[in-house]
Structure 1
Amino acid sequence: MHLLFATSIVPDGALASGYEIANAAIIAALRRAGARVTVIGFTWPGKPASDPQNTIVLGAVDVRTESASSLQKLAWVAKALLSGLTFASVKLRVVSDSEVQAAVERAGPFDGYVLNSVQFAGAFESLFGDRPSIFVAHNVEHSSALQNAAAAGGLFQRMLFRREAKLLKVIEARLCRRARFVFTLAEEDRSALGVGSDDRSAMLPLVTRAEPPAQKTLRRIDCDAALIGTWTWQPNRIGLDWFLDKVVPHLRPDFRVRIAGSVPPGVISTHPGVEFVGRVPDAQAFVRSAAVIPLISTSGSGVQLKTIETFELGLPSVATSHSLRGIDHRPVNCVVADDPVAFAGALEAATANVRDVDGSAFHRRQVKALDAAIRLGLKKLDPIRQEVFA
């Protein structure tokens, strides 16, 4: 079976974001199941595709809103309003339908599409109706947009998020309806998208690496807690604001928190132990330097890959319930707390008794369940060849 994996950004090997980590895991699982996968989409500027023999590149785009100029943001908003597309999809309309169609034809004979998330599929939706498809819903995007609207500071931004939510709800419903099968990254997202039946969808348990991480018995602890993420992404920003505003004030003054990653303007903390360290050269080394990892998601859908990575590494953690969506197994050194005072107390208790575990068992369990879900979806895509994916 030859599949065309249609995505906004093609893999470049860097795995710099949760979206890219999830894509790598899904593509690898499709190939382990015996499918030939050709990827089509855009690259980041200056970053070539990591697998050029199996990739069709439509061009280079930078879709990050936070790094765009004010003029570029206005152009995107205007184009979205005029075209009726979502803000996220209009960023990809740097090539025409005919150019994308020609690129699809260059892929050669193939059996079906894997429409990876709503952004690319929404930008070129009319081109993907000629073959059966699987839809991969990384998030329930319309729900995330509504949550972003509720958290937005200004009226104009709130209106844009509400418009996005309205459009996304219609597009997601249409993509789910047309798909032979739907993959989500969290169990609750299946019913939220109206495909809760086992005959229509399955959750994909993910991993952040091909092999279990090497277990290291000794760690040098340089701080009490460490967080890393793309904090300019609105759902992450909401979680960070909750942590800084609600949890941090209950930590003792000498509790040391290091926060890595791009932080939006205006994000500050008066706690003497909080330090914003920006970009770090080695994300894994950074989190391993902390006694405990706070998992602070409070909004959004899909799965938190930082949670999965923490469990793979066997590191102690304190997690909100929302951070555990898409996770069927919680290690013994993960404490769940949604109340800010309890969360702070659990962090302090974890630093007093650091307990690492072997994360390789969690990784193996995730891979086994991921492969089983992928085989189920491929059977639905091509019922005639079900025995191939048994």
Structure 2
Amino acid sequence: MKVLQICSKPPVPSIDGGCKAMNNITEGLLSNNIRVKVLTISTAKHPFLPEKISADYIEKTNIEHFFIDTRVKPISALLNLCKSNSYNLSRFYCKKFEELIVSTLDKEEFEVIILEGLFVSGYIDSIRKNTKAKIVFRAHNVEHEIWERNTQNERKGIKKIYLKKLADQLKVQEIEVLKNVDVIASITQRDKQQIELLGCETKVKVIPFGINVSNYLKAKTESKFTFFHIGSMDWTPNQIGIKWLLNNVWGNILSSNNDLVLKLAGKNMPEWLLKLNQKNVEIVGQVEDAIDFINQNQVMIVPLFSGGGMRIKIVEGMALGKTVIATSIALEGIDYVPNKNVIVANKKEEFITAINWCLKNKEEAKQIGENALQLIHEKYDNNQIIKDLISLF
């Protein structure tokens, strides 16, 4: 079997959760003797870095890329409000990348084409015209739902109206895409349900994000009982969540725990965080090795109030035996049991209670982390997930 994997950003180097989600599929298929060809968009935010890609990967995938300037242009964004198509998606369409896809399909035959997310869905028509291969749409999340949640979290005003318009445009196009693929591989059970509620009759199969558990077991080390958050800080939901945590939770915790420190790590820290002068908050910024950083600390805090799909950093934290305190939205897609393998907190008081409980019951909190590791081992091992994907093919 030969598979063409089309990505909205380079899967390698795997600098964020989306990259890892794509690369784990690539590596998993290759390890099962499935031939994979990778075509990817590269952008200013996610450039193609051949010097950071192994020669073995390049040889096996014959990866090719094309640069598209996907940066938001205010005038184009405003003009697009008069149109029916989504500005978010149109930024990722380029005739030259379409030509690369078509020329690839002319030269090689594929049984399956994986579209990695909604941002590469603009090429479906050209794919249909140039191959009989089945199209598997990998739904990393229900994209319009993220924007609906962002709208709900916004106060009344022009921005709220604008966000609602973006969400509505995106929803229309997302439904159309879901109807025009052969099968949908949803990362979470909840997303599967949401897709079916949209009236989609296309077959949907849950293929969650998986990790190579053995690699994390080898990496796991003892850590200090410290609190941390790690994530891409140019992603709006992460910024909203951290701002809420600092304004509503952390100050209350410090009133009785003066030596407590919250470490904030992640790439592209916004200026307001870099200038932050809040007691007992350490801005770590981008780390060279995320696994090493997670290993150094014990309690992962994820105050996420919008977003969708599966939070890959949480899966990695659990695989390293970390105690996770997170919102229900952050934990979507993970088959957890509250207070057994994670601690769920959705409100200010719940976060404060959870953090204080961890401080007073450190050994019990660590046990929740060990239970989390066991859960990931049992249900999110990439070896089994890839077998399920191949079966779907």
Asked if Structure 1 and Structure 2 have the same fold, meaning a TM-score greater than 0.5 normalized by the shorter chain, the answer is: yes
- Asked whether the 8 Å contact 1:3–1:112 carries over to 2, the reply is yes
- Asked whether the 8 Å contact 1:38–1:107 carries over to 2, the reply is no
- Which residue in the other structure is 1:188 paired with? 190
- Which residue in the other structure is 1:207 paired with? 210
Q: 1:348 aligned to 350, 356, 362, which one?
A: 356
Cα shift at 1:76: 5.1
Cα shift at 1:107: 5.0
- Which residue in the other structure is 1:303 paired with? 310
Aligned equivalents of 2:244 and 2:251: distance in 1? 11
Aligned equivalents of 1:218 and 1:9: distance in 2? 32
- Asked whether the 8 Å contact 1:244–1:269 carries over to 2, the reply is no
Cα shift at 1:52: 2.8
Check 1:211–1:55 CA distance in 2 against 1; reply closer, same or farther (3 A cut). farther
Instruction: For residue 362 of structure 1, give the secondary structure of its aligned residue in structure 2.
Output: helix
Q: 1:281 aligned to 268, 288, 294, which one?
A: 288
- Which residue in the other structure is 1:11 paired with? 11
One-letter amino acid matched to 2:237: P
Cα shift at 1:171: 2.1
Cα shift at 1:75: 6.0
Name the structure with the higher helix share.
2
Structure 2 matches for 1:51-90, cutoff 5 A? 51-53=57-59, 54-61=61-68, 63=70, 65=71, 73-74=73-74, 77=77, 80=80, 85-90=85-90
Instruction: For residue 37 of structure 2, give the secondary structure of its aligned residue in structure 1.
Output: strand
- Which residue in the other structure is 2:388 paired with? 373
Cα shift at 1:299: 1.5
Q: C-alpha offsets along residues 341-382 of structure 1, whole Å, 9 cap, x if unaligned?
A: 22122223223414152726623531255235313421xxxx
- Asked whether the 8 Å contact 2:223–2:298 carries over to 1, the reply is no
Check 1:361–1:147 CA distance in 2 against 1; reply closer, same or farther (3 A cut). closer
Instruction: For residue 120 of structure 2, give the secondary structure of its aligned residue in structure 1.
Output: helix
Structure 2 matches for 1:1-390, cutoff 5 A? 1-12=1-12, 14-32=13-31, 34-43=33-42, 44-45=46-47, 47-48=49-50, 51-53=57-59, 54-61=61-68, 63=70, 65=71, 73-74=73-74, 77=77, 80=80, 85-96=85-96, 99-122=99-122, 124-130=123-129, 131=132, 132-152=134-154, 157-194=159-196, 200-209=203-212, 211-215=214-218, 219-221=222-224, 224-253=226-255, 254=258, 255-261=260-266, 262-267=268-273, 271-330=278-337, 332-352=340-360, 353-354=362-363, 355=366, 356-357=369-370, 359=373, 362-367=376-381, 370-378=385-393
RMSD: 3.2
Cα shift at 1:165: 1.7
Cα shift at 1:248: 1.6
Cα shift at 1:127: 1.2
- Asked whether the 8 Å contact 1:207–1:309 carries over to 2, the reply is no
Check 1:218–1:40 CA distance in 2 against 1; reply closer, same or farther (3 A cut). closer
Cα shift at 1:233: 0.8
Structure 2 unaligned segments of length 5 or more: list them. Answer: none
- Asked whether the 8 Å contact 1:10–1:39 carries over to 2, the reply is no
- Asked whether the 8 Å contact 2:233–2:269 carries over to 1, the reply is yes
- Asked whether the 8 Å contact 1:280–1:286 carries over to 2, the reply is yes
One-letter amino acid matched to 1:77: A
Number of aligned residue pairs = 368
Identity %: 22
